[in-house]
Amino acid sequence: MAINYQKINIQLERLDQKKQELMNIIHSLPPEKYQRNPDPGTWSVGQVANHLYLSERLSLAYLNKKMSYIDTIPPFSIKSWWALYSVNFILWSPFKIKAPPAINMWKDIEILSPDDLDSKWTMVRRDLAAFITQHQPNFHSHLVFNHPISGRMTMTQMLIFFNHHFAHHLRQIHRVVREISRS
């Protein structure tokens, strides 16, 4: 299977566009609205944004760890498309799934300020792009990413998932902003 950097770059560009849209929303909010939960049991804009950041940061840490054990990364399987479609179905459905503990924003996890979030996230994105450039030839058709619910995916599938995950939470953020603007 040929390495398709074009597909990966498209996914990375889409992620960057979504992040920019999110940061524009966040920087337009006063600090109290950034941290305000619209209702008990619903995340604030800050919690959602930090959840997205942490999911990418921790995924990159996982990828770096896996590269230490490259011989344990399974080869491509058609089942990986099922993993991607199943998690995307959940994201586009009315079903709610609890976030894994490490990125569950109800836990005692620091909510970064908008400026800190933006700068740290920019570094994670830069590191992710560098990681892909450096390591993609080693695992291009392997199932390098392991989603906590749906299972193993290729790098391209992981980035597709990240885009769907981001779109899901952008819709949530738009809803939260509308709700807190009414109050």
Tell me the three state secondary structure of residue 80: helix
d(CA 41, CA 158): 29
Q: What is the pLDDT of residue 24?
A: 97
pLDDT, tens digit, 9 for 90 and up, residues 131-160:
998 888 777 788 889 888 888 999 999 999
Q: Is the pLDDT of residue 174 over 80?
A: yes
Q: What is the pLDDT of residue 21?
A: 97
Which fold, 5-21+44-182?
Answer: Four Helix Bundle (Hemerythrin (Met), subunit A) (1.20.120)
Measuring CA to CA, which residue among 83, 72, 78, 80 is closest to residue 139? 72
Q: Is the pLDDT of residue 3 over 70?
A: no
Q: What is the pLDDT of residue 136?
A: 80
Q: Where are the domains of the chain?
A: 5-21+44-182
Q: What is the pLDDT of residue 88?
A: 87
Residue given tokens 């909510």 in the structure block: 111
DSSP 71: G
Q: What is the pLDDT of residue 23?
A: 98
Q: Is the pLDDT of residue 1 over 50?
A: no
pLDDT, tens digit, 9 for 90 and up, residues 93-109:
887 878 888 888 877 88
Highest mean pLDDT among 55-64, 88-97, 105-114: 55-64
Tell how many helices (H) and how many strands (E) occur in the chain.
Answer: 6, 2
What mean pLDDT is reported for the chain?
90
d(CA 39, CA 131): 39
The more confident residue out of 173 and 85 is 173
Q: Is the pLDDT of residue 127 over 90?
A: yes
**Count of alpha carbons within 13 Å of 46, Cβ hemisphere only?**
19
